[in-house]
A and B are shown apart, each in its own frame.
Chain A
């Protein structure tokens, strides 16, 4: 049952990381630096996770670049999350077809 133990270790560690800050920090943080830091965390995390990973998210680089540009264009026009994601996929798929045909 080694594999079950692995699973319990994985799930346990991951859950503890998620739950401790939420369960322990129940009050509003007053420190201005920490508050500002936490304000910027989502943008920092998402920026670092998206770039450069997005360029290898599909198998062909040209499709990935086209999909990314499409996503940036749609996001700049403030389209919904689903719409931006769908357009990025569609463009990446279309460019992939063209690329493979050429």
Chain B
């Protein structure tokens, strides 16, 4: 975990956030593009699809929500589905809460919470202390691209050739691998926690046709299990103040 980015120059922090957010934003373009295409092809008005992206900023939840809208599901079903699929964000927010600048106001925390996506959390959690200007920089471009990508996807069914669009699907995972591998190289505990999480996730995926637990639930269970085992087997000693 590198770098203390709490209280330095406002502009520098913001700029660093924007730079770190750029790869996320590019990845979001392709995913939200797909969301826009799917939504409009399912009969959702373009402006509604764009608004859904702007207000939700979450891929799995939106795709599932789309399905429920098309099925004309009840609002309770919609709420429960979103809760289950997105519950992992509660774990991420809790982890993030420990790294935010202590002096940050509740209002600022409420703004930052809006942009706590898988990818933004992943990048932010590489730092030990996080200030609001860094977070603004980090969140801004990805949220913008998430929204605008949905618009493009809905508007033009294809800007990029199919092959290129398809290959972009792996971008976000490439980024995740780039985040988890370097610390796993140096810390045995992280390696073991990762292996447990991955094995657990693969088991759930392979059982999908017998017991369809859903990817949201699967991620929560794998996370709870592997992080708890890690905390039990390899507790982290008190960090310097």
Q: Which A positions have Cβ atoms within 8 angstroms of B?
A: 3-7, 9-11, 13-15, 17-23, 25-26, 28-29, 32-54, 57-59, 63-64, 67-68, 70-72, 74-76, 78-90, 92-93, 96-97
**Chain A residues positioned under 8 Å from B23 (CB to CB):** 80-82, 85
B10 interface residue, CB < 8 Å from A?
no
Q: In the complex, how many residue pairs between chain A and chain B have their CB atoms under 8 Å apart?
A: 297
Whether the pair A51, B198 counts as a contact (CB closer than 8 A) is yes
**Chain B residues positioned under 8 Å from A28 (CB to CB):** 98, 102
**Chain A residues positioned under 8 Å from B15 (CB to CB):** none
Whether the pair B96, A48 counts as a contact (CB closer than 8 A) is no
Whether the pair B167, A96 counts as a contact (CB closer than 8 A) is yes
Whether the pair B223, A9 counts as a contact (CB closer than 8 A) is no
Which among A37, A49, A74 is the interface contact of B227 at CB below 8 angstroms?
A: A37
**Chain A residues positioned under 8 Å from B79 (CB to CB):** 9, 13
Which among B58, B83, B198 is the interface contact of A48 at CB below 8 angstroms?
A: B198
Contacts A36-B230, A40-B226, A48-B218 known; A7 to B55 CB distance under 8 Å? Answer: yes
Whether the pair B219, A9 counts as a contact (CB closer than 8 A) is no
In the complex, besides A26-B102, A83-B178, A92-B170, 10 extra interface pairs with C-beta distance below 8 angstroms are A17-B83, A21-B93, A35-B236, A36-B230, A49-B219, A50-B198, A71-B174, A84-B178, A85-B171, A96-B166
Provide the bound-state CA to CA distance between A40 and B114, in Å: 23
Whether the pair A22, B223 counts as a contact (CB closer than 8 A) is no
Whether the pair A58, B98 counts as a contact (CB closer than 8 A) is no
For chain B, residues 80 to 109, give those with C-beta under 8 angstroms from any C-beta of chain A.
Answer: 82-83, 86-98, 100, 102, 106, 109
Most chain B CB within a 10 A radius of its CB, from A3, A14, A15, A76: A14
Q: Is the interface of B mostly helix, strand, loop or mixed?
A: helix
Q: Can you list 15 A-B contacts with CB-CB less than 8 angstroms, sorted by A residue number?
A: A13-B78, A14-B61, A15-B113, A19-B93, A34-B231, A39-B231, A40-B190, A43-B193, A44-B227, A51-B202, A52-B202, A58-B166, A75-B182, A85-B23, A88-B177
B46 interface residue, CB < 8 Å from A?
no
**Chain A residues positioned under 8 Å from B110 (CB to CB):** 19, 22-23
A-B pairs, top 4 by smallest CB distance, nearest first, are A88-B174, A36-B231, A84-B178, A93-B167
**Chain A residues positioned under 8 Å from B58 (CB to CB):** 14
**Chain A residues positioned under 8 Å from B6 (CB to CB):** none
- Nearest Cβ distance between residue A78 and chain B, in whole angstroms? 5
Most chain A CB within a 10 A radius of its CB, from B52, B170, B218: B170
**Chain B residues positioned under 8 Å from A21 (CB to CB):** 90-91, 93-94, 97
Whether the pair A23, B106 counts as a contact (CB closer than 8 A) is yes
For chain B, residues 47 to 91, give those with C-beta under 8 angstroms from any C-beta of chain A.
Answer: 48, 51-52, 55-58, 61-62, 65, 68-69, 75, 78-79, 82-83, 86-91
- Nearest Cβ distance between residue B76 and chain A, in whole angstroms? 9
**Chain B residues positioned under 8 Å from A40 (CB to CB):** 189-190, 193, 226-227, 230-231
